[in-house]
Amino acid sequence: MVVLALNATEFIGRFHPILVHLPIGILILAVLFIALSLKEQFSYLKDAIGITLFLGMLSAIASCISGYLLSQSESYDPGLIFKHQWFAIALAASSIVLYVLHLMQKRLTWTAGLMAILLLITGHLGGSITHGSDFLFKESSAKNSKVKNENKPIANIQDGAAYATLIQPIFESKCIACHGLEKQKAKLRLDGPASILKGGEGGAAIVAGQAEQSALMKRILLAKDNKEHMPPAEKPQLTKEEIDIVEWWINGGASFDRKVSDIQQTDKIKRVFKSLSTDHSNDEVSLVDVPEASVSKASESAIQKLRERGITVVPVAQNSNYLLVNYVAIEAFTAKDLKLLQAINDQLIWLKLPNIALTDESIDELNQLTNLTRLYVQKTNLTDQGIAKLAKLSNLQYLNLSGTKATAKGVASISGLKNLRHLYLYQTAITDDELKKIRLELPKTNVDGGGYQVPKIEWDTAVSRAPIIK
Partner 1 sequence: MRDDNQTRRLIKEAEQAMLQQYTRRHFLKDGAMGFGALALGSLLGNCWGNSGSKKLFDAANPLAARPPMFPGKAKSVIYLHMAGAPSQLELFSYKPELAKLDGLDCPPSLLEGKKFAFIRGVPKMLGPQAVFKQRGESGLWLSDNLPHLATVADDIAMLNAVTTEQFNHAPAQLLMHTGSARLGRPSIGSWVTYGMGTENNNLPGFVVLTSGGNNPDAGKSVWGSGFLPSVYQGVQCRSEGDPVLFIKDPKGMDRDLRKASIDAINKVNQEQYSEYNDPETLSRIAQYEMAYKMQISVPDVMNINDEPQYIHEMYGTQPGKTSFANNVLLARKLVEKGVRFVQLFDWGWDTHGDSAGNAVDIGLINKCRKVDRPITALLLDLKQRGLLDETLVVWGTEFGRTPMQENREGKKMPFKGRDHHAAAFNMWMAGGGIKGGTSYGVTDEIGYNIVSGKTEAYDIQATILNQLGFDHEKLTYESQGRNFRLTDLSGKVIKDILA
Q: Does 235 bind partner 1 (CB under 8 A)?
A: no
Q: Smaller CB distance to partner 1: residue 72 or 266?
A: 266
Return the DSSP state at 39: S
Segment near partner 1 (CB under 8 A); pick from 88-96, 150-158, 160-168, 319-327: 319-327
Q: Does 466 bind partner 1 (CB under 8 A)?
A: yes
Q: Smaller CB distance to partner 1: residue 4 or 223?
A: 223
Q: Out of 105, 140, 301, 318, which residue is the one contacting partner 1 (CB under 8 A)?
A: 318
Three-state DSSP at 244 gives helix
Q: Does 448 bind partner 1 (CB under 8 A)?
A: yes
Q: Does 317 bind partner 1 (CB under 8 A)?
A: yes
Q: Smaller CB distance to partner 1: residue 280 or 409?
A: 280
Task: Judge whether 316 and 350 are in contact, CB under 8 Å.
Answer: yes
# chain residues binding partner 1, by CB under 8 A: 48
In angstroms, what is the minimal distance from the CB of 288 to partner 1? 9
Of 344-363, which residues contact partner 1 (CB under 8 A)?
352, 354
In angstroms, what is the minimal distance from the CB of 300 to partner 1? 14
Beta strand pairing status for 422-424 and 323-326?
unpaired
In angstroms, what is the minimal distance from the CB of 433 to partner 1? 18
In angstroms, what is the minimal distance from the CB of 102 to partner 1? 47
User: d(Cα 98, Cα 111) in Å, to the nearest integer?
Assistant: 6
Distance, C-alpha 350 to centroid of its chain = 29
User: d(Cα 426, Cα 452) in Å, to the nearest integer?
Assistant: 9
Segment near partner 1 (CB under 8 A); pick from 266-274, 359-367, 409-417, 435-443: 266-274
Binding string, 173-212, against partner 1, x = CB under 8 A?
----------------------------------------
Binding string, 24-63, against partner 1, x = CB under 8 A?
----------------------------------------
User: d(Cα 128, Cα 151) in Å, to the nearest integer?
Assistant: 28
The dihedral over CA atoms of 109, 111, 117, 121, expressed in degrees to the nearest 10, equals -160
In angstroms, what is the minimal distance from the CB of 212 to partner 1? 17
Task: Judge whether 87 and 118 are in contact, CB under 8 Å.
Answer: yes
Of 371-400, which residues contact partner 1 (CB under 8 A)?
376, 378, 398, 400
Binding string, 78-97, against partner 1, x = CB under 8 A?
--------------------
- Name every residue whose Cβ is closer than 8 Å to that of residue 107 and which is 6 or more positions away in sequence: 101
In angstroms, what is the minimal distance from the CB of 407 to partner 1? 18
Q: Does 5 bind partner 1 (CB under 8 A)?
A: no
Q: Does 328 bind partner 1 (CB under 8 A)?
A: yes
Q: Does 310 bind partner 1 (CB under 8 A)?
A: yes
Q: Out of 97, 114, 204, 316, which residue is the one contacting partner 1 (CB under 8 A)?
A: 316
Q: For residue 89, give the nearest of 122, 58, 112 by alpha carbon.
A: 122
SS (H, E, C) 309-374: CCCEEEECCCCCCCEEEECCCCCCCCCHHHHHHHHHCCCEEEEECCCCCCCCHHHHHHCCCCCCCE
In angstroms, what is the minimal distance from the CB of 375 to partner 1? 11
In angstroms, what is the minimal distance from the CB of 255 to partner 1? 26
Task: Judge whether 405 and 384 are in contact, CB under 8 Å.
Answer: yes
Binding string, 287-306, against partner 1, x = CB under 8 A?
--xx----------------
Task: Judge whether 386 and 367 are in contact, CB under 8 Å.
Answer: no
- Name every residue whose Cβ is closer than 8 Å to that of residue 109 and which is 6 or more positions away in sequence: 34, 35, 38
In angstroms, what is the minimal distance from the CB of 426 to partner 1? 4
Segment near partner 1 (CB under 8 A); pick from 67-75, 76-84, 107-115, 461-469: 461-469
Return the DSSP state at 294: -
413 burial via Cβ count (<10 Å: 0-12, 13-18, 19+): middle
Three-state DSSP at 138 gives coil
Q: Smaller CB distance to partner 1: residue 87 or 350?
A: 350
In angstroms, what is the minimal distance from the CB of 231 to partner 1? 15
The number of beta carbons lying within 10 Å of the beta carbon of residue 300 is: 8
User: d(Cα 262, Cα 184) in Å, to the nearest integer?
Assistant: 32
Q: For residue 151, give the nearest of 77, 267, 59, 243 by alpha carbon.
A: 243
Q: Smaller CB distance to partner 1: residue 197 or 317?
A: 317
Three-state DSSP at 467 gives coil
Partners of residue 313 on adjacent β-strands:
325
Q: Smaller CB distance to partner 1: residue 112 or 447?
A: 447
Q: Does 248 bind partner 1 (CB under 8 A)?
A: no
Residues making contact with partner 1 (CB under 8 A):
224, 267-268, 271, 274, 284, 289-290, 310, 312-320, 324, 326, 328-329, 352, 354, 376, 378, 398, 400, 402, 422, 424, 426, 448-454, 456-457, 459-460, 462-466
